Amino acid sequence: MPVAKPESSDSRVIAHVDMDCFYVQVEQRKQPQLRGLPTAVVQYNEWKGGALIAVSYEARKFGVKRSMRGEEAKEVCPQVQLVQVPVARGKADLSGYRNAGSEVVSILARRGRCERASIDEVYLDLTDAAEMMLADNPPQGMETIDEEALKSHILGLNNEDGSDVKENVRKWIHRHNADHRDKLLACGILIVAELRMQVLKETEFTCSAGIAHNKMLAKLASGMNKPAQQTVVPFSSVKGLLDTLPIRKMKQLGGKLGISLQMDMGVNTVGGLLQFPEEKLQERYGINTGTWLWNIARGISGEEVEGRLLPKSHGSGKTFPGPRALKTVPAVRVFLNKKCSMILSCHEVNVLISFAIILACRILCKLKSIFWVGNGKFSAAKTGAEIGEMVQHWLNQLCEELSERLCSDLDQNKRIAHTLTLHARAYKSSDSDSQKKFPSKSCPLRYGTAKIQEDAFNLFQAGLREYIGFYGGKTQGSHCSGWGITSLSVSASKIVPIPSGTCSIAKYFQGQSTSHFSSMQSSDNLNTEATLSLPSGSECYSEVNLSEPKIDFPKEESWIKDTVPDLDLQEQKDLSSTLSEKTQYGFIQEDISPLLLSGCLEQNRSKQQRDLTKDESQFKSEYKERKGKRLKDKGTYSIIELFKSYNPNPSGSFLSHEYNRTVGGTDASSSSYSRDEEEGRREAWGYNIDEIDPSVMEELPMEIQDEIKAWMQPHKRRPNNMVKRSCTISHYFSPSKKS
């Protein structure tokens, strides 16, 4: 899995910066009274007070460790302050930490190429900055060296007892007889010290750093002296470092591969690998891994610092460990009964409403299943539906979070994601092979919370069908009693920047490919089109908050407003989904669509008449016509004009065909409706309270009954689409669906 790359230069200056117990620092900044106290962040988990995921250095002194339970931590350190990870939508919410990480990145990116390696780590390529410093104002000639820099640890530097450590560092930095590489590292020391001070000043966070000639060594070094210190690996001390370094400490070797090296090869230190010829390692571990191992034994790692300030994907997930698995009837009833009593003892309106929704769903499903069972076909439908209901509830929560994050990304970074993926884990007790994998499924990502929810659930169904079908039998009925879901997650990937002006957009519509597009992430070009119609300055990408210094993004916020002054919000949604659907596999590029989308960007909302009569082919031919016209106009034609004059009926036929193929042959009617069909269904789901079996209703506490009744009122506005969702669910589990 690791892969070797040749070292581009052996005198790069690479830094790895790692925040100290990051989540703790974020919480301490929020609650300054916690500063200096032994503190730990726990992920809430009714069980034993949750598990610790970050521990302050004060707490570590008392023996508090990560992966202790809250209770355990209290035992070894009764005064430890436990702070919970925030919870939203019933799950851990890490957005506060993510945002704090972004603050840090935007500071660290100031002096060179910066790669966001995780929520709290970055790599920096400071080669250019160091070379520049060496040319202009080399540390050898400096009179004073920054205090923070003097506190650096320099591996291999002789610190005889009694000698002044700082003085030794000062001497090392000032050395005139050093080779070029060491001089560059000396510059790196100063630059990183400055950056770390900037981070502290602007964010109140401390961090540690490693400075070396490549990423691997920098990463190794950053962890050697924590917290709030930096460590340098001069070229000359690499061998000594690796010779004694336990092999499992090396990144990538902390798992199975490292175990195998110890067990199968008898290697216990990284230097121990030196005894094996490259071919031997390749034989045993494959070409790539073998070469990689051979290289790291010698301190060689050619990996480049990527120049990426933003994550490549977003995900939202939740696990349902053991007894809390989403499973069949009895547990569901227990769950619901518990919730009912919770509701009765809890006056919080939100909770009340959300569980009322669950219950409403359940009743609807129950109605359905009674009906199905009444037809004498699949009594199992009910069971499935109840699991599905739980799955749907959680998927809705997860998708809501994901959608929110996608909107922020679009808003702040002008990026759109193209792929939605669903992962789940399931067990089947009936099978000996109960750990069989629930397959991941993905599909094109459509923006809008409801759409993501719908698509995610369809993906789940596709996966479930495979899971059950494969290892179960022909009928769900005989096999659905012993299975459950132990984790669910949704993620969005293939995130690419959107162009920032009409020119770039125009370029799309001229049939430029997405790959062309994605290649620009590193900021160059796109400028072939810059002359089209906008002032040159606006023709670039940006990651707005986190942009590289050179890139700026004038007036981005106003672009939509300026160009789309009079599309109603809903219209824009319709329009964008239509476009996206029609163009996904067809005649124009899709990437424009989410731009228009969206409750993400506040927009004017004046009304405009729409022409819903045009069908797809009309749209297509007219589009071509206009495209030709626009081309003649050399870009002065606003693409938006094109849309405005024309708003085709968003019949989803094109998409649904393709889509259903993607998710594994779901019946077209279940995954994508035309507008008319959908309206029809909504109508059908305007349940009358009288339709509910009284016995079902009576099961519920009075309060809940009232709540449900309110929900059932036809034409009353439902706060979300949960009820409609349950229609989908019933569809899947309904016997008629299967035939």
Partner DNA sequence: ACGGTTGCTACG
Partner DNA sequence: TCGTAGCAA
Catalytic residue IDs: 121
Which residue, among 465, 477, 453, 424, has the nearest Cα to 665 in the 3D structure? 465
**Residue 264, H or E segment:** helix 256-265
Is 424 strand, coil or helix? strand
Round to whole Å and give the CA distance between 477 and 484. Answer: 14
140 sits near DNA (criterion: CB under 7 A): no
Instruction: Order across the sheet with 207-212: list the strands.
Output: 113-118, 121-125, 14-19, 207-212, 230-232, 153-154
29 sits near DNA (criterion: CB under 7 A): no
Tokens for 296, please give them.
Answer: 């790291």
CA–CA distance from 424 to each of 387, 464, 659 (Å)?
Answer: 13, 9, 20
Q: Which of 14, 21, 485, 723 binds DNA (CB under 7 A)?
A: 21
Q: Which of 277, 286, 537, 686 binds DNA (CB under 7 A)?
A: 286
Tokens for 294, please give them.
Answer: 């051979």
315 sits near DNA (criterion: CB under 7 A): yes
Which residue, among 637, 643, 645, has the nearest Cα to 502 in the 3D structure? 637
Residue by residue, DSSP assigns 429-497 as TTSS-TTPPPPPEEEEPPPSHHHHHHHHHHHHHHHHHHHHHHHS-S-STTTGGGEEEEEEEEEEEEEEE
Longest dimension (CA), the chain: 92
445 sits near DNA (criterion: CB under 7 A): no
312 sits near DNA (criterion: CB under 7 A): yes
487 contacts 424 by C-beta, under 8 angstroms: yes
Nearest residue (CB) to DNA, 440 versus 522: 440
CB of 293 to DNA, least distance (A): 12
User: CB-hemisphere CA count at 13 Å for 732?
Assistant: 27
Query: Strand 81-84 to strand 39-43: parallel, antiparallel, or no bridges (unpaired)?
Result: parallel
Q: Alpha helix locations (H) across 375-441? A: 380-413
Q: Which of 14, 24, 364, 406 binds DNA (CB under 7 A)?
A: 24
Instruction: Count the neighbouring beta carbons within 10 Å of the beta carbon of residue 738.
Output: 15
Q: Which of 29, 60, 66, 284 binds DNA (CB under 7 A)?
A: 66
Is 92 strand, coil or helix? strand
3 sits near DNA (criterion: CB under 7 A): yes
CB of 307 to DNA, least distance (A): 11
674 sits near DNA (criterion: CB under 7 A): no
CB of 84 to DNA, least distance (A): 12
> Buried b vs exposed e over 14-31: b needs ≥16 C-beta within 10 Å?
bbbbbbbbbbbbbbbeee
Q: Which of 196, 314, 327, 446 binds DNA (CB under 7 A)?
A: 314
For residue 121, what are the β-bridge partners? 18, 118
Segment near DNA (CB under 7 A), from 1-9, 293-301, 341-349, 524-532? 1-9
Nearest residue (CB) to DNA, 175 versus 494: 494
Is 652 strand, coil or helix? coil
Packing angle of the helix pair 349-374, 722-733 (nearest 10 deg): 30
How many residues form the binding site for DNA (CB under 7 A)?
Answer: 68
Segment near DNA (CB under 7 A), from 21-29, 138-146, 190-198, 275-283? 21-29
Nearest residue (CB) to DNA, 140 versus 486: 486
Q: Which of 489, 500, 589, 726 binds DNA (CB under 7 A)?
A: 489
Nearest residue (CB) to DNA, 439 versus 635: 439
Segment near DNA (CB under 7 A), from 14-22, 538-546, 548-556, 619-627? 14-22
Nearest residue (CB) to DNA, 92 versus 503: 92
Q: Which of 139, 299, 317, 384 binds DNA (CB under 7 A)?
A: 317
306 sits near DNA (criterion: CB under 7 A): yes
Which residue, among 421, 179, 176, has the nearest Cα to 313 in the 3D structure? 421
96 contacts 120 by C-beta, under 8 angstroms: no
Instruction: Order across the sheet with 39-43: list the strands.
Output: 51-55, 39-43, 81-84
CB of 41 to DNA, least distance (A): 7
Q: Which of 163, 244, 313, 608 binds DNA (CB under 7 A)?
A: 313
10 contacts 180 by C-beta, under 8 angstroms: no
Q: Which of 251, 338, 561, 624 binds DNA (CB under 7 A)?
A: 251
Round to whole Å and give the CA distance between 462 and 663. Answer: 6
Strands (E), 119-187: 121-125, 153-154
51 sits near DNA (criterion: CB under 7 A): yes
468 sits near DNA (criterion: CB under 7 A): no
219 sits near DNA (criterion: CB under 7 A): yes
**704: buried, middle or exposed (CB in 10 Å: 19+, 13-18, 0-12)?**
buried
198 sits near DNA (criterion: CB under 7 A): no
**How far is residue 444 CA from its own chain's centroid?**
16
92 sits near DNA (criterion: CB under 7 A): yes
Nearest residue (CB) to DNA, 419 versus 533: 419
207 sits near DNA (criterion: CB under 7 A): no
56 sits near DNA (criterion: CB under 7 A): no
CB of 428 to DNA, least distance (A): 15
CB of 118 to DNA, least distance (A): 6
Segment near DNA (CB under 7 A), from 132-140, 417-425, 446-454, 607-615? 417-425
118 sits near DNA (criterion: CB under 7 A): yes
Residue 665's region, left for phi above 0, alpha for psi from -120 to 50, else beta, is: left
Q: Which of 318, 614, 724, 738 binds DNA (CB under 7 A)?
A: 318
Instruction: Count the neighbouring beta carbons within 10 Å of the beta carbon of residue 203.
Output: 19
Which residue, among 456, 485, 480, has the nearest Cα to 469 in the 3D structure? 480
Tokens for 494, please give them.
Answer: 């293939």
Q: Which of 32, 33, 67, 349 binds DNA (CB under 7 A)?
A: 67
Nearest residue (CB) to DNA, 321 versus 686: 321
**Quick one: DSSP state of residue 269?**
B
Torsion angle defined by CA atoms of residues 333, 338, 343 and 344, in that order, rounded to the nearest 10 degrees: 110
Q: Which of 176, 201, 256, 632 binds DNA (CB under 7 A)?
A: 256
Nearest residue (CB) to DNA, 289 versus 449: 289
Q: Which of 288, 527, 645, 713 binds DNA (CB under 7 A)?
A: 288
18 sits near DNA (criterion: CB under 7 A): yes
Nearest residue (CB) to DNA, 51 versus 727: 51
Segment near DNA (CB under 7 A), from 18-26, 356-364, 682-690, 731-739? 18-26
Nearest residue (CB) to DNA, 217 versus 727: 217
255 sits near DNA (criterion: CB under 7 A): yes
484 sits near DNA (criterion: CB under 7 A): no
Q: Given the structure tokens 């002054």, which residue do they identify?
A: 565
258 sits near DNA (criterion: CB under 7 A): yes
Residues in 323-352 at the binding interface with DNA, rule: CB under 7 A: none
**Quick one: DSSP state of residue 36?**
T
Q: Which of 491, 580, 593, 649 binds DNA (CB under 7 A)?
A: 491
| Cα distance from N-terminal residue to C-terminal residue, the chain | 44
86 sits near DNA (criterion: CB under 7 A): no
Q: Which of 43, 168, 533, 720 binds DNA (CB under 7 A)?
A: 43
738 sits near DNA (criterion: CB under 7 A): no
428 contacts 378 by C-beta, under 8 angstroms: no
Binding site for DNA (CB under 7 A): 1-3, 18-19, 21-24, 41, 43, 45, 51-54, 66-67, 91-94, 97-98, 117-121, 219, 223, 250-258, 286, 288-289, 306, 311-319, 321, 401, 419, 421, 423, 437, 439-442, 487, 489, 491, 494, 515
